[in-house]
Amino acid sequence: MAVRRYAPNQLICRQGDRADDLFVLLSGVVRIYRSWPGGQDRTYAVLAAPAWFGEGGVVGEGGEQRSANVAALSWASVALLHRGTFAAFERAHPRGAVKILRTLGRGLLRRLQDTSLGSEQLVFQPARRRLAATVLNLAQGCGHLRDGSLVIPVRLSHATLGEMAGLTRETTCRVLNEWLARGWVKQERGVLSITAGQGLDALRDLAGGAV
């Protein structure tokens, strides 16, 4: 498999491209999102290594198009498994290929269910709850503890964070500034962290059943 290195914000695959590869995320964090008419984007998932995406590249019958964009949020290393390589493996090891396909299918189904449930849970929620749930989901997916804080190790603009929560940039800025003033979160060079203890408890209380 070929391994490629991507810089933050660099596109890994583009919506509408031909889907001929499965991507295996070896290191880093990526964002899966769709672009809609009018220039609006909608984020569906943030994945941290180890993970995979682009299952349609090997699961489909061939000729399919990518249904979403994937961009690196941090420096990322990605291995590419081409459809032809997998087809050769499938011919040589049919039972092993079936197990891999089942695993890919379960992972894709779980991701679709998480996306659907997350959207349903957040759509009618107040702004603070929606943003709290989004930040906590990010922390759960790729956060790590450092110096008494839960750090989300990617640089997210207020516009992108708001897009993930279904909020405007202005509302996202207002709520984050409120949390910064209360000491619940910190933001340094675009990297958001949740203060362990008070901050984490406060965001969990705000998120309620939305997480």
What DSSP string describes 79-107? EEEEHHHHHHHHHH-HHHHHHHHHHHHHH
Identify whether the C-beta of residue 183 lies closer than 8 Å to the C-beta of residue 198: yes
Q: How is 22-45 classified by DSSP, letter by letter?
A: EEEEEESEEEEEEEETTTEEEEEE
Least confident of 2-11, 51-60, 143-152: 51-60
State how far the Cα of 60 lies from the Cα of 17, in Å rounded to an integer: 14
Identify whether the C-beta of residue 129 lies closer than 8 Å to the C-beta of residue 210: yes
| pLDDT above 70 for 115 | no
| pLDDT above 70 for 119 | no
For residue 155, count CB atoms less than 10 angstroms from its CB and return exposed for 0-12, middle for 13-18, buried for 19 or more: middle
Using DSSP's 3-state secondary structure scheme, residue 4 falls into strand
Q: Name the token pair of 187.
A: 């933001």
Least confident of 53-62, 66-75, 83-92, 176-185: 53-62
The per-residue pLDDT for 13 is: 95
Band of pLDDT at residue 194, cut at 50, 70 and 90: very high
Closest CA to 3 of 26, 35, 30, 33: 26
The per-residue pLDDT for 135 is: 92
| pLDDT above 50 for 123 | no
Mean pLDDT, residues 161-167: 85
Q: Whole-structure pTM over 0.85, yes or no?
A: no
Most confident of 26-30, 55-59, 90-94: 26-30
The per-residue pLDDT for 200 is: 93
Least confident of 33-47, 114-128, 139-153, 196-210: 114-128
Closest CA to 182 of 170, 199, 169: 199
pLDDT higher at 203 or 60: 203
Helices 94-122 & 83-92 angle (0-180, nearest 10) = 130
| pLDDT above 70 for 157 | yes
Region 2-121: CATH code: 2.60.120.10
Mean pLDDT, residues 137-148: 85
CATH fold of 125-207 reads Arc Repressor Mutant, subunit A (1.10.10)
CATH 2.60.120.10 maps onto the chain at 2-121
Band of pLDDT at residue 48, cut at 50, 70 and 90: confident
Band of pLDDT at residue 94, cut at 50, 70 and 90: confident
Mean pLDDT, residues 56-66: 78
CATH 1.10.10.10 maps onto the chain at 125-207
For the chain, the average pLDDT equals 84
